[in-house]
C-alpha cells in the first residue's frame, strides 16, 4: 500500500532540496529519518517533517494495520514552484532582479510486503 505527503510553496530553491532528497531515496523510513536528523542542511528539516507526515498518513490510511518499520521511501519528487521576483538597487541607478525560488516536494512511501 502506498501513501504520500505533499509540501507546496516551500521558500527554498529546488536545487538545494534535490541534493538532500537524493540521500533518502530508496531507503527504509527509519534509516531516512536518521539521515535527515544528522544532515546539516536546511532542507533536511523540511524533508524530515514531510517524511513523518507521510508515515502518519500511511498509518491513518491503513487504520493502524501497516507496520511502519517495513515502509520504504519509494519516490521523492522535487519540482519548481512559482518564482518571486524582487529588485535590488545597484550602482549608477541600475537595478538587478533577485529570484526567490519556491519548491513543491512529494514523498511516496511503499511497504516491502
What pLDDT sits at residue 65? 81
Position 27 pLDDT exceeds 80:
yes
What pLDDT sits at residue 69? 85
What pLDDT sits at residue 33? 96
What is the tens place of the pLDDT at every residue in 38-84? 999 999 999 999 999 999 999 998 887 888 888 999 999 999 999 99
Position 1 pLDDT exceeds 90:
no
Tell the residue number behind the cell numbers 539521515, with chain if given: 35
Length of the chain equals 113
Asked if residues 71 and 29 have their Cβ atoms less than 8 Å apart, the reply is yes
Average pLDDT value for residue range 80-96: 97
Position 16 pLDDT exceeds 90:
yes
Domains in the chain and their CATH numbers? 2-111 (3.90.470.10)
What pLDDT sits at residue 113? 66
Report the candidate in 3, 6, 1 with the shortest Cα–Cα distance to residue 106: 6
Position 112 pLDDT exceeds 90:
no
Q: What does the H/E/C string look like for 61-105?
A: HCCCCCCHHHEEEEEEEEEECCCEEEEEECHHHCEEEEEECCEEE
Amino acid at each position: 500500500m502506498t501513501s504520500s505527503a505533499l509540501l507546496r510553496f516551500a521558500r527554498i530553491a529546488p536545487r538545494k532540496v534535490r541534493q538532500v532528497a537524493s540521500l533518502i531515496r530508496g531507503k527504509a523510513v527509519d534509516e531516512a529519518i536518521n539521515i535527515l536528523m544528522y544532515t546539516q542542511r536546511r532542507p533536511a528539516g523540511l524533508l524530515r517533517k514531510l517524511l513523518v507526515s507521510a508515515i502518519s498518513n500511511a498509518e491513518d490510511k491503513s487504520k493502524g494495520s501497516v507496520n511502519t518499520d517495513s515502509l520504504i521511501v519509494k519516490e521523492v519528487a522535487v519540482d519548481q514552484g512559482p518564482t518571486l521576483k524582487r529588485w535590488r538597487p545597484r550602482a549608477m541607478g541600475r537595478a538587478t532582479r533577485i529570484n526567490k525560488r519556491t519548491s513543491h516536494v512529494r514523498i511516496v512511501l511503499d511497504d516491502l510486503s
